[in-house]
Copies of this chain bind each other. A is one copy, B any other.
């Protein structure tokens, strides 16, 4: 089993590192993809090495997609490779787990309309306007899409994610 994290500079540090270490704790390989192979610097300057570029991602190599929040999703959602990758995970029924600003990515990929989801409070209105059934819960699961609001929801977010990987 193998997980893919898509992120970029400005990521929320805890949302980037917690799932990264958590999958490894479970013995699951994890790779990080970004715009380039340059090291990602989180909002608090924690550094995460990048394994491959977005263009290099082959969805067939992975079983789960993780989308941390922070300032990264605002840029990532405009990238056509990110949208292609996210849509492909969805089509293949593989779990997509997005937290905080992360849900902006499946939203831009056209995957959230009419579905139950949550996100950071500052992103809520955008989801509501796009026809998402917004829920103010620590974690929301609709089909293969798992969403959470904030770093403090990481325990619940990860619990649901692990349930799906077992």
List residues of A whose CB falls within 8 A of some B CB. Answer: 13-14, 17-18, 21-22, 24-25, 44-46, 154-156, 158-159, 162
Contacts and interface: CB of A to CB of B under 8 A. Distances in A.
A77 to B, nearest CB: 25
A146 to B, nearest CB: 14
A74 to B, nearest CB: 21
Nearest to A18: B21
Contacts of A14: 13, 17, 21, 46
B44 A154 contact: no
Contacts of A17: 14, 17-18
Contacts of A21: 14, 18, 154-155, 158
Given A44-B44, A45-B44, A155 B13 contact: no
Contact of A24 (B44, B45, B155): B155
Contacts of A158: 21, 25
Q: In this complex, which of A21, A24, A45 has the most chain B Cβ atoms within 10 angstroms of its Cβ?
A: A21
A93 to B, nearest CB: 24
Contacts of A25: 22, 154-156, 158-159, 162
